[in-house]
Amino acid sequence: MDKAIVEVKGIGKTYDGGVEALREVSLAFPPGQLSTLLGPSGCGKTTLLKIIAGLIPHDAGEVWVKGQRVHGPGPERAFVFQDFALLPWASVLRNVAFGLELRGVPREEREELARKYIAEVGLKGFEERHPNELSGGMKQRVGLARALTVDADIILMDEPFSSVDEQTRRKFQEDLLTLLRHRQKTVIFVTHSIEEAAYLSDQIVLLTPRPGTVLRIVRPAVDRGRSADQIRRDRNYLDTVDEIWGILKQYV
Amino acid sequence: MKLFGKNVPGFLSLAVWFIVWELAGRAQWSSIVPPFTSVIEAAVTILPTEKFRAAVIISLRSFGIGMALAIAVGIPLGIVMARVRGVGRILGMWVNIFVSAPISALVPLLMAVVGIGETTVVVTVFLFAVFVIVLDTQVGVSHADRSLVEMARSFGARPSQLYGKVLLLSALPEILAGLRLGAIRGVKGVVIGQLLVAIIGVGELFELYSNHFLMEEFWALVIIVFLFAFAVSEAIALLERRVEYYASNR
C-alpha cells in the first residue's frame, strides 16, 4: 500500500459541556481511494471529518496531510457539505467558481473552469440559475462541482446525499464513482448508510458511538470496474453489507 | 383586501377615512378637525412658500446626517456584537434598553450638552435610528448560515472576504429591515428634535401653526411628514423585496 495521504493520530475531541465526541482515533487514508466513516448517529464521524478539514479544533492528537502537520483548512482539501452551503444570492456559476474567487483567480479563468465542471456534474444549462431554483440533488451537484473546481487532491464529503431523495441518490452515487475513477482523488466520505458505504468505498471505517473510537476497518473486495447494477448484485457487496450490519447492530 | 366576498383595493380604506374626516370637518364637531379638503388646499398653498422650502432643506439635512451617522455606527457595531461574544453580551443589554427607551426625554438633556440648534436634531435622529439598526444587524449576522461560514473558511477565505462576500450579504435582509425601521424612527427624531428645540425647520412650522391655531396648515404638514416617512420606508421595502429570496433560501 502507498503511503497515506491523510493521517490522523490519537485524535480526541470533547465539546464544551463535556460531551466526548472522539477518543484516541488513529487512521490512515491511502491516496486515490474512497474511504468511508460509518457509524450510528452521535459517533462523531462528522466531527472527525471537520477536524480533518481544519474546521473544528481538536483537543488531542495530530492531523497530517501529504506529510505535513496541519492546523487549519488548506487548498489540498475541499469540503462538500451536507446542507450544500451554497450562496443563495449567487448564480450556480459563481457558486462553483467561489473557491477560486476566494483565491483571487481572475474572473474569466475561474468561470471557464467552473463551466467545465458544471458540465461534468451534469448541470450544463443551469449556470445562471440560483440555488433556490434547483432541487436538492442538483444543489449537491453544485457543491461537488465547487469542490472539483479548486482541484484539491482530497475531497471531504459530509453525508452529501442525505438530503437527496432515493432515486437521485443512486444516480448521484454512480456519477460520483465515474467522476472520481479517473481523477486519482482521495475521498473521505461520511455516511450512515451501510449500502452507500459498501457500494462506494475502498475502505470503510466503523466508529463506535460516544465517544467515537475506531471499531473496525472493512475493505470490501468489490470489483468496481463493473456496472452499477452488477456491483449491487455482487456477492462480496452483499456480504459486506451483512458483515457491517452484524457489527453495528449491537450499537443501535 | 376582501369585503363581502369582493376584491377591494387597499387604498379604498384610506378613501373611507378621508370621507369620514371630511364629514367630521364639515359638521364642525371640533375646531381642531378642519375638513379634509381644506387641509389639502392648505398643503397646496404651503408647498411653494419660501418658509416651507427652508424648513424642508434644514430638516432633510438633519435627517440625512443623523441617518448617515446611525448607519455608519450601527452596522459595524452590530457586526462586532454578533461576532465577538463578549462585546455582544456587554453592549447587548444597553442596546436593548435604549431601543425601547423614551429617547425624546433625553433631548432636553442634549440641548444642555450640544446647544440649541441643528446639532441637537442630528443627534436626536441618530439616537432614534441607531439602536434598531444595531440590533437588526446583530441578529442578521449571528443568524447567518453557519455552514456558509464554514464553507468560506474551508475554501480559504480571509477574514475580509468572509465579511464582504458572505456575512454581510447573508445578513442583508435583516440589515435592510433595520434600516427601514431606523429611517422611520429617524423621521420621528427630526420632528421631535425640532419641536423640542422649537426654533428650526419643520418643528418650527409645527410650533407656529399650532400656536396660531392654523389647523389646516398643521394637518397639511402632518400629512406631508407622513408621506415622506412612508416614501422612505417604501423605498427600502422595495430593496428588501428584491433580496427576499435570500431569506427563503436559508
B155 contacts A73? CB cut-off 8 A: yes
Cell of B178: 433595520
Average pLDDT over residues A74-84: 88
DSSP H stretches of helix in chain A: 45-53, 92-96, 98-102, 107-120, 136-149, 166-181, 194-200, 228-233, 235-248
ipTM for this prediction? 0.85
Using a 10 angstrom Cβ sphere, with 0-12 exposed, 13-18 middle and 19 or more buried, the burial of residue B221 is buried
* Residue contact A132–B248, C-beta within 8 A: yes
Peptide bond into A88 cis (omega under 30): no
- Per-residue DSSP letter, B171: T
Whether chain A has a CB inside 8 Å of the CB on B100: the answer is: no
The length of chain A is 252
Please tell me which of A2-16, A199-213, B2-16, B74-88 the model is most confident about, judged by mean pLDDT: B74-88
Q: What is the pLDDT of residue A2?
A: 55
Does the beta-carbon distance from A88 to B166 stay under 8 Å?
no
**Chain segment B22-66, per-residue pLDDT in tens:** 888 888 777 778 888 888 888 888 888 888 888 888 888 989 999
Cell of B83: 461576532
Chain mean position to CA B213: 28
Distance CA(A144)–CA(A134), nearest Å, equals: 14
The H-or-E segment that residue B205 falls in is: helix B201-211
Q: Whole-number mean pLDDT of chain B?
A: 84
The larger pLDDT score, comparing residue A198 to residue B67, is at B67
Choose between A247 and B10: higher pLDDT: A247
Contacting A residues, span 123-182, partner chain B, CB-CB under 8 Å: 130-132, 146, 150
Tell me, what amino acid is at A81? Answer: F
| Contact list, A73 vs chain B (CB under 8 Å) | 153-156
- Flag if B154 and A103 touch (Cβ within 8 Å): no
Contact A55 B150 (CB under 8 A): yes
Instruction: Return the SS3 of A159.
Output: coil
What pLDDT shows up at residue A196? 83
- CB contact A68 to B (< 8 Å): no
Output the nine-digit C-alpha cell for B176: 435592510
For B76-97, write each residue's pLDDT tens digit: 999 999 888 888 888 888 888 8
Minimal C-alpha gap between A252 and chain B (Å) = 28
Q: What percent of chain A has pLDDT over 70?
A: 98
**pTM summary value:** 0.76
Bridge partners of residue A38, in order along the sequence: A191, A206
| Best residue in B146, B147, B150, B151 for a mutation probing chain A (most A CBs within 10 Å) | B151
Per CB-CB distance under 8 Å, the chain B contacts of A77 are 154
- The answer to which of A102-106, B3-7, B136-140 has the lowest mean pLDDT is B3-7
A-chain CB neighbours of B249 within 8 Å are: 88, 130-132
Cα Rg for chain B, rounded, in angstroms? Answer: 22
CB distance A85–B150 less than 8 Å?
Answer: yes
Ramachandran bin of A125, using left for φ above 0, alpha for ψ from -120 to 50, beta for the remaining angles: left
Phi-psi region of A206 (alpha: psi -120 to 50; beta: other; left: phi over 0): beta
**Mind telling me how many Å the CA of A80 is from chain B's nearest CA?**
8
With an 8 Å Cβ cutoff, are B249 and A83 in contact? no
For the stretch A139-195, pLDDT in tens is 888 988 998 888 888 889 998 887 777 777 888 888 887 777 778 888 898 988 888
Q: How many CB pairs under 8 A join A and B?
A: 62
Q: How much is the pLDDT for B249?
A: 47
In B159-218, the residues whose Cβ lies within 8 Å of chain A are: 161, 165-166, 169, 172
Q: Do B151 and A83 touch (CB under 8 A)?
A: no
Does B150 sit within 8 Å of A81, measured CB to CB? yes
In sign, the C-alpha dihedral spanning A221, A226, A229, A234 is negative
Check if B154 contacts A (Cβ < 8 Å). yes
Length of chain B: 250
Residue B219 CB neighbours (<10 A): 22
How many angstroms separate the CA atoms of A52 and A44, rounded? 12
Q: For residue B36, give the 3-state DSSP assignment.
A: helix
HSE on the CB side for A200, CA within 13 Å? 35
| Long-range pairs of A171-180 with CB within 8 A, sequence gap ≥ 24 | A171/A137, A172/A137, A172/A140, A172/A141, A173/A199, A173/A200, A173/A228, A174/A228, A175/A121, A175/A122, A176/A144, A176/A200, A177/A224, A177/A228, A179/A120, A179/A121, A179/A144, A179/A148, A180/A34, A180/A155
Please give the pLDDT value at position A244: 81
Residues of A in Cβ contact (< 8 Å) with B157: 102
Q: Do B150 and A103 touch (CB under 8 A)?
A: no
Chain A residue numbers touching B246 (CB-CB < 8 A): 88-89
Distance from CA of A63 to the nearest CA of B (A): 15
Q: What is the pLDDT at residue B103?
A: 79
Q: Cα A39–A45–A47 angle (5° rounding)? A: 155
